[in-house]
Every structure is written in C-alpha cells, then in structure tokens.
Amino acid sequence: MLNQFSPHVDENFLDLFYHEIQSFELDRYNTKINLHTLKIENNIFVYSELVEKLFDCIVTYCLSRKELEIYKNNKGIYVKAIQRLRKWENNDGELGEVLLYCFLESHLRAPKIFTKMELKTSPNDYVKASDGVHVLQVDKNNFQLIFGESKLEKTFQRSLYDAFNSINDFINRSTNNIHDEIRLLNTHLEKESISPALYNVLKKIIMPSAREDEIFKDNAFGIFAGFEITVDDDSRKLSNSEFRKMIRTKIKLEVESQYSYIQKKIDEHKLYGTTFYVYAFPFVEISNTRKRIIKNLMEATNDF
C-alpha cells in the first residue's frame, strides 16, 4: 500500500554501527529496544564517518518531499536545509532528532511523513511538537504513526526518564497534544505527497474511517536515548581488540540494566497498548560531541 512512499535513508546507514541489541522485546510491554554503537577504530569512535553520512541525511530530514522535488537540481539545497538548524553553540537536541530520523528510516523502514523542521520559518522558531512523524505498515491493513522523542543526557536512565515524561505530557496535555498534531499532520499532508494517489493513501492511514473498516491505525513512539560513556586513558592504552571488547560490553550492560526502568516508566504513566521503539546511543563527551557534529553539518566541514 505504501510502495510509493519509501524511506530516504538507505539501510547502508547501519553499516556504521555495531548492532549490540536488535529489537529486544520487553514481554507484555510492546517495547522493542535497539542499541547501535558507532564503529570503533584505533580505540576511538569514528565520528568522522558519521558526519559524512549525515551530510546527505540532513537534507531529507529538514526538507519535505515536495521541497526535495522542487529543489532537487538546485546546488543550494544543502544550504536551504541547514538554515533551519539552530546555531550549534546553543544546539543541544537537534542531533538526536536527526539520528532518530535516520534509525527509524534505515532500521525500522518507517518513512517520515514530516518533521517539525518543516514547520520552522527561521532557525530560532520553537515548535512544540514531536520531533517527527513516521508511518510504518505493520501488515496489510494495520499501520502505526510513530511520533519521535529524542533526549540526550549524561545517563541512559535520565534520557529515558525525560523521554517517557515528555511522551506522557504530549498525550495528556490540553493543547499542542498528540490529537492536535494528528490534525496538523492531516492539514500539512500535501507537503509530503507527490501524487494524488499517494496523498489519498496517507490521508486514509492518518484518519482511517471506522465505517469502512479497511485500515487500522495506532499511535506509537520512537525514542532516541543518547547517553554518555566515560573512557579513561588506561582504557585507551588497551590493544585495539581488547578495547573494542571492553567498551562494547560496558555499553551493552548499561543498556540492559535499564530494562526494568523502562517497564517502570510505562507502568507509572499507564502507557499500555502503545508501542515504543527505543534506540539507545552512546556518546563520548556528549555535550561537546553533539555540538561539534552539528557545527560540522552547518559549516559543511569535517574536523574529526
């Protein structure tokens, strides 16, 4: 049904990462956990290769499908895209939003319908919405609208805490809530559709008719939980193979240790019947690294 609506981010994006945890399902909690650890060479993460990949992804993240069609032969398309990013000095969150978009498209194969970047008319605009909306065809007649929530904090647990609290607020607040966003998505749908046929298909998925009883839609959430890991000089002195084994094991154990915490947050907010796709992602020196990556994207350079 969505043959014409394929993701922009190719599956080869995933070649950059060790897939430590692949869609681990928490029993009875409708939650799939993924851990993608950036490739390691010479005892450091290859942020330079990540930046190279993101040069292409940032364009399709920031611009709608209609804009991509209009500007596809324009050499300034990259500049048009990055003009929507906040200045890197004060940019603490947009890298997580971009990476979540990349994982939902490349790993889950859920194409984006739109992101809040498309609603911005200037870099300083504040859009109180989910980080993006993707659509996933579960089977022939069942679909999910996946709302993005990205958090980058010092610890994995803190990222989870902030993400689930934000999701609960998004569902339950009186205005700018999930229902308002679905209505907004419905009115902005023409920005993402190229053909009238595709427009009609997406419209039916977003606002399915119970009377027709042909399409079933549920809401889900994609969570990007960035966190910091510490690497001391003694660890860096290990052999390359020892270092890789040590750091990958350390990161995996950290994520696995928070399975019960995820269950606790779902219980606390009674978020039953909602599917969560959690993407855990470790950073070294998270505050500096995320700003440095955004700076490189905004300046079209790569200083890693």
* Residue 144 pLDDT class (50, 70, 90 cuts): very high
73 in any annotated domain:
yes
* Residue 206 pLDDT class (50, 70, 90 cuts): very high
- The per-residue pLDDT for range 219-242, each reduced to its tens digit, is 999 999 999 999 999 999 999 999
What are φ and ψ of residue 120, in 5° steps?
Answer: -85, 135
In the chain, what's the furthest Cα-to-Cα distance?
66
pLDDT for 114 equals 84
Say whether pLDDT at 115 is over 90: no
What is the domain count for the chain? Answer: 1
4 in any annotated domain:
no
pLDDT for 134 equals 96
298: helix, coil or strand?
helix
3 in any annotated domain:
no
Say whether pLDDT at 120 is over 80: no
Give the domain range for residue 260.
Answer: 11-299
* 76: its two tokens: 């300034």
pLDDT for 244 equals 98
Give the integer Cα–Cα distance in Å for 123 and 46: 28
pLDDT for 122 equals 47
5 in any annotated domain:
no
pTM listed for this prediction: 0.94
pLDDT for 91 equals 56
226: nearest Cα among 93, 41, 55? 93
152 in any annotated domain:
yes
176 in any annotated domain:
yes
304 in any annotated domain:
no
Cβ–Cβ < 8 Å for 43, 54: no
100: nearest Cα among 293, 287, 298, 279? 279
2 in any annotated domain:
no
